[in-house]
Amino acid sequence: MILLTLMAIVVIGIIRFKNLFNVIILGSIYSFLMASILLVLDAVDVALTEASVGAGISTVLMLSALYLTKRNENPITHNQIWPLLIALITGALLVFGTYGMPEFGIINTPMHNHVGGEYLARSISDTGIENVVTSVLASYRGFDTLGEVTVIFTAAIGIIAILKKTKTKVK
């Protein structure tokens, strides 16, 4: 609860600040708080990823991107009524959607009765890997992980294509 409150405060800070450097640092703090929440929820693998990717490397990449642009946000010139209206409607729809969800922590939801239990039961005898997250990620769902690696590959190639200084002579 404390962590969620802190996250809300950080989000308000992100909205209020005009200096992009502050915003990036607050984003990093937000990621750390998120990692702490995931740790509380016993999702250690995700927490480690959030801490290293969200709070660590993406902050560095954002800062180096900031290095290429201006430090401050542009003042807002257009009408703010429509964006506010759209945000309110979307938010209301999302809150409405949560009423259709099963109660928190209930056991017989579709999520728990699908393949999850099967993986938990069979992981050790099938693969001998004690961390079920790894066995699902690398073995049962290896194809998905291949897709993820391809996504990272594509992202890196795209950034190289955009930012790489070519050595062609300017006429």
Partner 1 sequence: MRLDVILRIATKIFLPFIFMFAIYVQLHGDFGPGGGFQAGVILAAGVVLYTITFGERKAKEYFPEKLFEIMIPVGVLIFLLTGLYSLIHGYNFLDYTAISHHGTHGQHLGVLIIEMGVLITVSGSMVTIFYNFINRD
Query: What is the size of the binding site for partner 1 (CB under 8 A)?
Result: 44
Judged by CB under 8 A, which stretch of 15-23, 40-48, 79-87, 113-121 contacts partner 1?
40-48
Partnered with residue 19 across adjacent β-strands are 72
Contact between 80 and 61 under an 8 Å Cβ cutoff? The reply is no
By CB under 8 A, tell whether 163 contacts partner 1.
Answer: yes
| Residue 142 backbone phi and psi in degrees, to 5 | -60, -35
By CB under 8 A, tell whether 107 contacts partner 1.
Answer: no
By CB under 8 A, tell whether 142 contacts partner 1.
Answer: yes
By CB under 8 A, tell whether 170 contacts partner 1.
Answer: no
By CB under 8 A, tell whether 42 contacts partner 1.
Answer: no
First-last CA distance in the chain: 62
Distance of CA 89 to the CA centre of its chain: 23
Q: Exactly one of 24, 35, 47, 119 binds partner 1 (CB under 8 A); which one?
A: 47
- Residue 114 falls in which region: left (phi positive, over 0), alpha (psi -120 to 50) or beta: beta
Give SS3 for 19: strand
Which residues form the interface with partner 1 (CB under 8 A)?
Answer: 44-45, 47-49, 52-53, 56-57, 60-61, 64-65, 67-68, 126-131, 133-135, 137-139, 142-143, 145-146, 148-150, 152-153, 155-157, 159-160, 163-165
